[in-house]
Structure 1
Amino acid sequence: MLKSRLITAFILIPIVIAALFLLPPAGFAMVTLAVCMFAAWEWGQFAGFTSRSQRIWLAVLCGLLLAFMMFTLPDWQHSVHLFQVAGSLWAALCWWIVALLLVLGYPGSASFWRSSRPLRLLFGVLTIVPFFWGMLTLRQYHYDTDHFAGAWWLLYVMLLVWGADSGAYMFGRLFGKHKLSPKVSPGKTWEGFFGGLLTSALIAWLFGLWAPLTISPAILLICSLVAALASVLGDLTESMFKREAGIKDSGNLIPGHGGILDRIDSLTAAVPVFACLLLLVFRTL
């Protein structure tokens, strides 16, 4: 299993980085839309859709919704303050606060949404749609003056999330004794949690030294810390929904890693939250 995970990671990471820096905005949007459609297909299990045709329709409807939102924008050099974008990012901030309460209160918190398919679908919309707009908004950050500025920001957030995940795994294996959330994800520990944050902090410091991130260190620290915390919450939230659905992995598309949601669960929280803080709260435009 570990060998398969490493091989897949070594293949996928260069592809992801190449997509960040080499694809034009329209191409990047299409790739991100496809990822979101796969995520919607997998979310169908969480919402209680068992047939393949139902989940296919869910993926298609997700793609149509995102495409419609894109085509209602005035042009590709859009402003973050447009309703489609700002509304999605603010919705993400609100949703992940609610998700934190759901995780902290689980399994009792599941009593009001467990039997409600519309609510579970709404949770999926609030997870996938803001993730899509967070990815596109960060990628187009200052695109008119520097085609790669947004790519650096997205790479930064991804490295934060990967660092938090890898650090949590290593520190948890070496020192883990105290369970972080045993009712949601028994394998996660407080030692791993703090180890992941430490790893993210180290990555933030090193990246800040060498990458062209033109921003106040204080604002960068706040955005990075909240994004790292959000990444943990995204992981725990997906674990909660998988536990309710009675499945181990959201899919089997990626060898050794499970499904698309298993790989982007942390990013679905970290990316829109980071974008919202960076562009709407602190207004670093």
Structure 2
Amino acid sequence: MAVSETPPEPAGAEPVRSERTRETLRVRYKDLMPRFIVGVLLIAIAIFGGWQGGLFFNFLMGIAALLVFREWTRMVGTTAGNDRMVGFIGIGAAVVLGNDGLVMYGFAALAVAAIWYLFTDRRAAMGILYAGLPFMCLIWLRYQENGFGLIVWTLAVVWATDIGAYFSGRTIGGPKIAPAISPSKTWAGLAGGMFAAAGVGVLNDFIFQLPFEAVHAAALGALLAVIAQVGDFYESHLKRRAGVKDSGHLLPGHGGVMDRLDGLVPVSILVASAVWFIGQ
């Protein structure tokens, strides 16, 4: 019996494969440039605002919180019209009180707005806490000793998580974490985000002389990378329930403000809690 041979590849097969590889990479990273440009601008604004502190930083936090609440109410299908103004007023009052150094009264203003919504629209009550609490935590962190360093450390961990997860996930690929909720999130992406967050956590801890030991900064950075991914999954869950791809269209390459800040929401709360606990 004659042994069959594998037919030789036609001439030009290698260039075809190379072209397919390049095309695959172009598809994987098609949104890289707008993401990069918008990301750099947001990072620059956030760092400058954190450095300035005071009124300017609180104003940025207030704008971010109001935009997140607006996207929440639109996406989740909660209260609209005049009823939505209660949330805007509550967030605005919280930021104004924070600007006067009365941050705890700012938290109280958020609580009052959330309690009001409990009697009218419980989903909006959750939206008030989701939108207002993390940014009030950032305002509180800025008033602490070495507040600028704490702000940069918190933001840098979230950014490192996003960047590490983006490149490792799209380059390595592999098994998905929860495809029913977020089909693009992989275990490789999570590992890359944790590694990047741990490294950035140690680096910024050294630069700003924060109250963390190096090993604790690395461990906390890696843990917060997981928490940031949980925040990402939660927002993906909300979008799936709403039947939308993005929370909005304000940021090219990113979608809405919630799409950009979903990981920061739980991370800022946990960092503020950790700093408060260490200070006790």
TM-score of Structure 1 vs Structure 2, range by shorter chain = 0.7 to 0.9
Structure-2 residue corresponding to 1:46: 75
1:14 and 1:270 map into 2 onto residues whose CA distance is: 20
Structure-2 residue corresponding to 1:99: none
> Which one-letter code corresponds to 1:64 in the other structure?
I
Does 2:89 match 1:64?
Answer: yes
Structure-2 residue corresponding to 1:105: none
> 1:141 deviation in Å?
1.1
Q: Secondary structure at the match of 1:181?
A: coil
Q: Secondary structure at the match of 1:180?
A: coil
Structure-1 residue corresponding to 2:11: none
> 1:35 deviation in Å?
1.2
Return 195-204 or 10-19, whichever deviates more: 10-19
> 1:118 deviation in Å?
3.1
Provide TM-score, normalisation by structure 1. Answer: 0.75
Distance 1:244 1:17, change over 3 A: same
Structure-2 residue corresponding to 1:8: 38
> Which one-letter code corresponds to 1:134 in the other structure?
C
Distance 1:27 1:275, change over 3 A: same
Matched residues, percent identical?
27
Unaligned runs of at least 5 residues, structure 2: 1-30, 112-119
Residues 161-201 of structure 1 deviation map (CA, whole Å, 9 limit, x = unaligned)? 11111111111122221111111101101111111101111
What pairs up with 1:252-267 in 2 under 5 angstroms? Answer: 252-267=249-264
> 1:78 deviation in Å?
4.5
1:83 and 1:37 map into 2 onto residues whose CA distance is: 18
> 1:29 deviation in Å?
1.5
1:87 and 1:57 map into 2 onto residues whose CA distance is: 16
Does 2:187 match 1:163?
Answer: no
Computing the radius of gyration over CA atoms, which structure comes out larger, 1 or 2?
2
Q: Secondary structure at the match of 1:273?
A: helix
Structure-2 residue corresponding to 1:140: 143
1:17 corresponds, among 44, 47, 72, to 47
Q: Secondary structure at the match of 1:282?
A: helix
Q: Secondary structure at the match of 2:166?
A: helix
Q: Which structure is richer in relative contact order (CA contacts within 8 A, separation 6 or more)?
A: 1
Does 2:90 match 1:33?
Answer: no
Aligned length: 242
CA contact (8 A) 2:197 2:218 kept: no
Structure-2 residue corresponding to 1:195: 192
Distance 1:67 1:12, change over 3 A: closer
CA contact (8 A) 2:94 2:105 kept: no
Structure-2 residue corresponding to 1:150: 147
Q: Secondary structure at the match of 2:136?
A: helix
> 1:220 deviation in Å?
3.6
Residues 210-260 of structure 1 deviation map (CA, whole Å, 9 limit, x = unaligned)? 223233445544543442222111111000000100001111111221111
> Which one-letter code corresponds to 2:171 in the other structure?
L
Does 2:236 match 1:243?
Answer: no
Note the aligned Cα RMSD (angstroms).
2.8
2:179 and 2:108 map into 1 onto residues whose CA distance is: 35
Structure-1 residue corresponding to 2:278: 282
1:72 and 1:141 map into 2 onto residues whose CA distance is: 16
CA contact (8 A) 1:176 1:191 kept: yes
What pairs up with 1:121-136 in 2 under 5 angstroms? Answer: 121-136=124-139
1:128 and 1:192 map into 2 onto residues whose CA distance is: 26
2:36 and 2:155 map into 1 onto residues whose CA distance is: 17
Residues 16-45 of structure 1 deviation map (CA, whole Å, 9 limit, x = unaligned)? 2111102x4233212211111111111112
Structure-2 residue corresponding to 1:76: 100
CA contact (8 A) 1:223 1:278 kept: no
